[in-house]
């Protein structure tokens, strides 16, 4: 729709006005409580310090938190990580799923868990968000071991037994679905 880089506040305000006019033609409006201008870019850290904040503002959109960060060379980079509310919601859903399938055979449990993990990795597995998807994997490991231990009164599954089960049945490891190279190709600023 728009492929112009916005560097100045006046440009951002005019862009917002043009966008709202274009949306009005389609009988749509911008929600004022959810619409704001955010300082974002390579100079955002410097301007945040002048305004009395420690770091620049972040932007939450579609389950991701976008922030200003630097790459290994020290250049500006848009950082994306999973929004904390989404992480907690995913963990709660996984715990509920494990509670419901507690007495199923282990092979079916792994099949169901891998299905959920595959979907999570496909959506949130974007370059720079490996820690976010790893948090979900570690949560699945801890909760699944606890659930296996709670299947009977005597059953206490040790970590050695758990790891042998995990290697035998194959729990999906975290994997990025969009690498840095693909992400650069998708970025249009």
Phi, psi of 83 (to 5 degrees): -65, 140
Phi, psi of 170 (to 5 degrees): 75, 80
| Single pTM value for the model | 0.75
Starting from the edge strand earliest in sequence, which strands make up the sheet with 64-70, in order? 59-61, 64-70, 76-82
Which residues make beta-bridge pairs with 80?
66
Compare 168 and 153 and report the one with higher pLDDT: 168
Out of 15-24, 134-143, 162-171, 180-189, least confident range: 180-189
Task: Choose among 128, 108, 125: nearest CA to 173.
Answer: 125
- pLDDT reported for residue 100: 92
Q: What is the mean pLDDT of residues 159-164?
A: 88
Q: Is the pLDDT of residue 41 over 50?
A: yes
Q: pLDDT-derived band of residue 73, with 50, 70 and 90 as boundaries?
A: confident
Phi, psi of 76 (to 5 degrees): -65, 140
Q: Is the pLDDT of residue 124 over 60?
A: yes
Give DSSP secondary structure letters for the chain: -------SHHHHHHHHHHHHHHHHHTT----GGG------STTHHHHHHHTT-SS---EEETTEEEEEEE-TTS-EEEEEEE-HHHHHHHHHHHHHHHHHTTTS-HHHHHHHHHHHHHHHHHHH-BTT-HHHHHHHHHHHHHHHHHHHHTTSSS----HHHHHHHHHHHTPPPP--SB-HHHHHHH---
Out of 141-145, 149-153, 180-184, least confident range: 180-184
| Greatest CA separation for the chain | 68
Q: What is the mean pLDDT of residues 49-66?
A: 78
Q: Is the pLDDT of residue 120 over 70?
A: yes
| Block residue for tokens 């929600």 | 31
Q: Is the pLDDT of residue 93 over 60?
A: yes
pLDDT above 90: percentage of residues in the chain: 23
Q: pLDDT-derived band of residue 1, with 50, 70 and 90 as boundaries?
A: very low
Q: What is the mean pLDDT of residues 44-64?
A: 76
On average, the pLDDT of the chain sits at 83
Q: Is the pLDDT of residue 3 over 50?
A: no
- pLDDT reported for residue 11: 82
């Amino acid at each position: 729709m728009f492929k112009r880089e916005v560097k100045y506040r006046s440009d951002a305000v005019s862009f917002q006005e043009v966008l709202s006019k274009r949306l009005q033609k389609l009988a749509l409006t911008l929600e004022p409580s959810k619409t704001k201008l955010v300082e974002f870019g390579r100079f955002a850290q410097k301007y945040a310090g002048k305004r009395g904040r420690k770091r620049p503002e972040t932007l939450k959109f579609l389950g991701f938190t976008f922030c200003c960060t630097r790459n290994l060379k020290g250049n500006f980079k848009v950082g994306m990580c999973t929004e904390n509310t989404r992480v907690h919601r995913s963990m709660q859903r996984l715990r509920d799923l494990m509670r419901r399938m507690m007495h199923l055979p282990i092979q079916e449990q792994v099949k169901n868990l891998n299905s959920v993990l595959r979907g999570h990795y496909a959506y949130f597995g974007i370059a720079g968000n490996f820690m976010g998807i790893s948090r979900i994997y570690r949560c699945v490991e801890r909760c699944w071991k606890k659930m296996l231990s709670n299947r009977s009164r005597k059953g206490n599954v040790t970590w050695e037994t758990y790891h042998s089960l995990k290697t035998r049945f194959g729990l999906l490891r975290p994997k990025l679905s969009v690498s840095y190279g693909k992400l650069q190709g998708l970025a249009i600023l």
